[in-house]
Amino acid sequence: MDSTTDQRIELRFVDTLTQVVFPAMGNTVNLTVIGDDELVVYSRKRISELERLWSRFVTSSDISRLNRAEGRSTPVHPDTITLVRYLVDAQRVTNGLFDPTITPSLNKIGYSASRTNSQQVCELPKDTQSHVDLTTTTIDERFGAVTLPHRATLDPGGLGKGLAADLVARELMGRGATGVCLSIGGDIRCAGAGPIDGSWLIVVAHPTDPSRTLGTIRLNDGAVATSSVHAKRWFENEVEHHHVIEPTYGAPLTIDQDSIIQSSVIAAEAVWAEVFATMSLVGKNELVDHDLACLTVRSNGSTHANARWKEFDSE
Amino acid sequence: MTTNRVRRDRHPARSARILSTGIALSATFGLTSAYGISARAQQPQDPIVPPTDGAQTDSLQSLSTSPLVALSNPAPALPAKTVPTATETPSPVATAAPAVTAAPATIPQVVATIPVQVVVPVWTPPQTSGSN
């Protein structure tokens, strides 16, 4: 009888679902946790901590110090070492279509200040340049230090948000949650049992019309991310820009009549979903050769969901 | 007289047997009816009868075995793909929740529990979109 009592008390904590929305990392965070209330508090602290480490607009962040290091070894937090590994691998795996070294180009076209706090500015040494090969990056595990190639800088961008979602979701499960769905600016990581027949439902936003959606997918453990040229836009010298940079030219991706303007990808980790969504958008392909679940929208309004994507369609 | 003879032929024990049989039948019917009424009265309460220990253990085991796709560190060369949900076993969260309400009166701690399926209509699925 005692063991039965213990089990029931455990169920009480397992079945508490909490959903919160709050700003972080220059975006909106949408967090659902099935577990103890303290897990929500932990999540907010952890995401805030990662933002302080990884934001290129926070002067004291690891990324800002690396960007100012001009080729010198820089001690960083273990989480930042993990981030740098992913950034280097992402550039290599996508043959440079996902390029985390485009910060100079972003600054040049006017994205040099935080969109949520214009007082926070990304300042770089004068001789930095975009589109730098990161394969010679040195990571010293023993002393926790990173050395970037000369003139190289890092912009974690969407990869940072995806990795943060992966890390925090994993940590919440490790702390007793039975289900987690964490969206950071649309990069979403699900883990454990969701509230809809054990699954999580994710709505895919329309790139230009907030009143419409492109459908709903059903995930258990996994992730989905979307990259869109309509997401962050601003005017510089009366010219409208977006934040998806064509690495070779260091300028916003050119959009013609039938270009892909939004790409969503499902993967095991949000960090890779984000990388391949950006690769699809910049590389102008639907990832047919990669056997990844992919949904694309073109500027002419047409949508294309590959066979893998349809396996996750909830409708 | 004939009538009297007949009366004399009946053994006293026979009347006693008839009487006792009648009492026994009445008692049987009465008990059956009483049980039926009792059963009907208890029927609405059936869903909150505590399940067997075995059933609860199964639910707990299922809850605790939901797999988490492991993060790779260092980063993997290529991302592994998720398994389509159609092939996965539905989570028992929804079925486990009623067990919470079946807690006996000796466990007051579970009174404030909110089962997941009660919260479901309130849960708003997040949207995947480009960075906002």
Length of chain B: 132
Question: CA B86 to CA A211: how far, in whole Å?
Answer: 29
Q: Which of B99, B90, B100 is nearest to A218 (CA)?
A: B90
- Domain ranges for chain A: 56-155
Q: Which residues of B touch A268 (CB under 8 A)?
A: 69, 79-82
User: Is the Cβ of B86 closer than 8 Å to some Cβ of chain A?
Assistant: yes
**Are the Cβ atoms of B75 and A185 closer than 8 angstroms?**
no
Topology (CATH level 3) of domain A56-155: T-fold (1.10.3980)
Tens-digit pLDDT profile for chain A (315 aa)? 444 344 444 444 446 899 999 999 999 999 999 999 899 999 999 999 999 999 999 999 999 999 999 999 999 999 999 999 999 999 999 999 999 999 999 888 888 888 888 889 898 999 999 999 999 999 999 999 999 999 999 999 999 999 999 999 999 999 999 999 999 999 999 999 999 999 999 999 999 898 999 999 999 999 999 999 987 776 777 777 778 888 888 888 888 888 999 999 999 999 999 999 999 999 888 777 777 999 999 999 999 999 999 999 997
Closest CB to A267 among B57, B66, B82:
B82
Please identify which residue in the block is written with the tokens 């009549």: A257
Question: CA B34 to CA B89: how far, in whole Å?
Answer: 44
- Domain ranges for chain B: 1-48, 50-55+91-116
User: Is the Cβ of B25 closer than 8 Å to some Cβ of chain A?
Assistant: no
Q: Which of B116, B62, B59, B92 is nearest to A17 (CA)?
A: B116
Please identify which residue in the block is written with the tokens 């979307």: A226
Top residue of B58, B61, B82 to mutate, by most chain A CBs within 10 Å, is B82
DSSP code at position B95: H
Tell me how far CA of residue A139 lies from CA of A12, A70, A81, A211, in angstroms: 45, 15, 7, 46
Of residues A184 and B1, more confidently modeled = A184
**Are the Cβ atoms of B82 and A222 closer than 8 angstroms?**
yes
Model confidence pLDDT, tens digit, residues B82-106:
444 433 333 333 333 333 334 445 5
Helix or strand (DSSP H, E) at B129:
none
Helices (H), A202-315: 270-283, 307-310
Q: Are A159 and B52 in contact (CB under 8 A)?
A: no
**Are the Cβ atoms of A219 and B89 closer than 8 angstroms?**
no
Q: Closest residue of B to A219, CA-based?
A: B85
Q: Which of A105, A13, A289 is nearest to B78 (CA)?
A: A289
> What are the beta bridge partners of residue A242?
A233
**Are the Cβ atoms of A186 and B129 closer than 8 angstroms?**
yes
Tell me how far CA of residue B35 lies from CA of A118, B31, B42, in angstroms: 77, 6, 10
